[in-house]
Amino acid sequence: MKEIMNQEQLSRTLKRMTHEIIERHSDLSNIVFVGILKKGFPIAQILKDNLKKFADIDAPIHPLDIQAYRDDLSQKVKPKGQGFDVLNKDVILVDDVLYTGRSVRAAMDALSDHGRPRQIQLAILVDRGHRELPIRADYIGKNIPTSKNEKVFVDINNQVIYIEEVK
């Protein structure tokens, strides 16, 4: 197991990403954070808290369950009403690791059930490459080239990111 980011580096990275969000939006009051369950939501919460601290904007945040929209599950799951609206909002979709792009595609499908956002931007803590779909992140914490037999783990509770060889 190889550590990629420690607590201090992770905190600094999330602060930088928040500043990038602030710089790219002329109207911060229209931002809505949507965190992909399970790992994207706590990261979205940190970005939301940073936005409140740095720009005094208390943006809404919503968890997004994408299970029913995944194309790699053999058992189909019914979509759940998740009770939020993103109509004409600037959605910042948040996840921990961007790999093939399939989770992000599923998340965009799930978001369409919540209204038509003005725009969707993607914030990713780690981009590890190996895309299978034409998806790219707007805000990237760290690019980490990996092999396909490695796995990136984001431990948000202990605030550490590491890579492990998977056999």
Torsional class of 130: left (φ above 0), alpha (ψ -120 to 50), beta (otherwise) = left
Q: State the pTM of this model.
A: 0.93
Residue with token string 């965009």: 108
pLDDT in tens, 135-161: 999 999 999 999 989 999 999 999 999
Name residues whose C-beta falls within 8 Å of residue 163's C-beta, 6 or more positions apart in sequence.
1, 2, 4, 144, 146, 150, 151, 152, 153
Q: Is residue 70 very low, low, confident or very high in pLDDT (cuts 50, 70, 90)?
A: confident
Q: Is residue 76 very low, low, confident or very high in pLDDT (cuts 50, 70, 90)?
A: low
Structural domains in the chain plus CATH codes: 2-165 (3.40.50.2020)
| pLDDT given for residue 146 in this prediction | 92
- Burial tier of 71 (Cβ tally within 10 Å: 0-12, 13-18, 19+): exposed
pLDDT in tens, 96-128: 999 999 999 999 999 998 999 999 999 999 999
